[in-house]
Structure formats: C-alpha cells, structure tokens
Amino acid sequence: GAVRRPLVLANWKMNMAPDQVKPYLATVLPEVEKDEAADVAIAAQDLYLPEMLSLTASSRLMLSAENAHWTDDGAYTGETSPKALAALGVDYVLIGHFERRKLFNETDERVNLKTKAALKNGLKPIVDLDEDLSAYASADPKTVVLKQLALALDGISETAMKNVVIAYEPTWAIGSGEAASAEQAEKSAALIRASLANLYSPALAEQTRILYGGSVTTKNAADFLSQEDIDGILVGKAALDPKQFLELIDIAQ
Ligand code: PEP
C-alpha cells in the first residue's frame, strides 16, 4: 500500500550466538542507511538488546523485543518489563507470536493485556495473528484470525492504534519452508484491513501496517511486498543470514 511505509522485520527468535551480533549488524547497517524508503527492524532476545542499542544508536535500524509482560514491574520471575524495554530505548515488541501462543500458553486475553502495556509504555506492539491449518480447512477460514484481531485490540483506542502494527502469519507457513501464496496472503490482509475499518474507521484501517510472515525468502519477498494490503514482511529463518536480510531490505526499498 502506497500510503504506508513498508516495514522489514527480522525475527531472530532464540538464535544467534553473542559473538555473531556485532558482525551481523556491521553487514546490515550500511544498507539500512542507503535508502530511507522502508523501515527496518530486528527482533532479538532481550540479552542482546542493550548491545544492539548501542551499536545502532546512530542508525535508522530499529529494535524489537520478542515478548514483554503485561505489567510494568512486580513479582514475575523470569519475565521482561515493557517499562524497562522502553526505558532502554527499544522501539517495538512482538506480541502473541505464534510460538508464544503455541508453546507458552499465550492466550488472546494476555495478548490484549500485553498490547495495552506496551502501548502505555510507548513501545510499538507488533500484534501477531496466527491462522492455523484447521481454521484454514474450515468453512469460514478467516474467522479465527479476525476473532484474534478483535480480542487483541479490545479496549485499545483509535489514537493508540496509530502505534500498532499487525502481523498476519499462517501457522503452517512459519519455519516450514512453505509460504502462503501472495494472493492468499493478500486476501487475508485485506480482510484484516476491512475488519480494522469496522472496529475503528476506514482512515485508521488505511494507515495501519499489516505484515506478512511465514517462510519469506529473497525469492518470494517482492511478491508479498507488491500486494496492495501487505505493508511489510516478518522474516525468521532467511533473516538469520545477514546477507539475505540485506537483500530483503533492498527488495523493500
Ligand atoms: C516468524 O518468525 O514469524 C517467521 C515467519 O519465521 P520464518 O520466516 O522462518 O517462517
């Protein structure tokens, strides 16, 4: 979509050794500065964020956490505070990634609470909607995604929504090597946008960025990015290689 700035987001997940962080950024940062047509961000495990923040201090590259708790602080051993992330200077936080929903019991209710907590602290939440296979096979395959959308955004104002990014990810495409077709993904992104128009307003829907994620590669990225309602890509595996991430940034420019 022409009115929306594309966002290219790498999701490192629980990958990358400590000594790989600096060389990765050294490869990618010059490309990020070259052209300003797209936003670029990396989601990394919390451990790496302080070092990455200092290495990217004078760069347009933005950083994202992969998860954050729904309260600012308290007796939640092992959790990450959205307030602390914001104080460090982190820009984005992934909320409700498929792996969090599936492996760590992230419910729609918690996704909603975490989205609100992120917004309250000035972080930009990237809210993940995951479409599973059974939903895909059912009579109304998009119901699950649109329900997730409504539940995730429950009680969030239109003003706050200006800082929310939506990521649409078919679960069967995540890490599988089998991406959705650009047409399939566009259909879902358009439905999500129509739903945003209903929940908020056509104007809000028009300006909200919707990313596609699921086995994006340097070969299929351009197809996704050229779709009317797809405003960026969320990339796992392909983005672990800095050269491929470079190429993906290039494609989005
Ligand atoms: C993801 O982490 O959200 C993802 C889409 O991973 P991959 O690109 O490896 O499918």
* Residue 97 annotated in active site: yes
Query: Which of 234, 240, 245 has the most ligand 1 atoms within 8 A of CB, as the residue to mutate?
Result: 234
Report the pocket of ligand 1 as residue ranges, CB < 6 Å: 11, 13, 169, 174-175, 213-216, 234-238
pLDDT at 136 over 60: no
pLDDT at 139 over 70: no
**Residues, the chain:** 253
Catalytic residue among 97, 99, 131, 186: 97
Mean pLDDT of 140-154: 87
How big, in percent rounded to 5, are the helix, strand and coil portions of the chain? 45, 15, 35
Instruction: Quote the pTM value.
Output: 0.95
Q: What integer pLDDT is reported at residue 159 of this predicted model? A: 98
- Identify the band that residue 179 occupies on the pLDDT scale cut at 50, 70 and 90: confident
| 13-50 residue pLDDT tens | 999 999 999 999 999 999 898 878 899 999 999 999 99
| 180-193 residue pLDDT tens | 899 999 999 999 99
CA–centroid distance, 196 to ligand 1, in Å, is: 24
Q: Catalogue the E-assigned strands of the chain.
A: 7-11, 39-43, 62-65, 92-95, 124-131, 165-170, 210-213, 232-235
pLDDT at 135 over 60: no
Angle between helix axes 182-199 and 143-152 (nearest 10 degrees) is 40
Mean pLDDT of the chain: 94
* Concatenated DSSP letters of 84-105: HHHHHT--EEEES-HHHHHHS-
pLDDT at 1 over 90: no
| 218-228 residue pLDDT tens | 999 999 999 99
* Residue 31 annotated in active site: no
- Mark the binding-site residues, compressed into ranges: 11-13, 175, 215
Q: Please list, in sequence order, all residues whose beta carbon lies within 8 angstroms of the beta carbon of residue 158, skipping any fewer than 6 positions away.
A: 200, 201, 204
Q: Which atom of ligand 1 is nearest to the CA of 11?
A: 2
Q: Are 127 and 165 in contact (CB under 8 A)?
A: yes
Query: Which of 216, 218, 219, 245 has the most ligand 1 atoms within 8 A of CB, as the residue to mutate?
Result: 216
Residue ranges and CATH numbers for the domains of the chain are: 7-252 (3.20.20.70)
For residue 166, what are its two tokens? 């939506």
pLDDT at 168 over 70: yes
Q: Give residue 51's identity as a one-letter amino acid code.
A: E
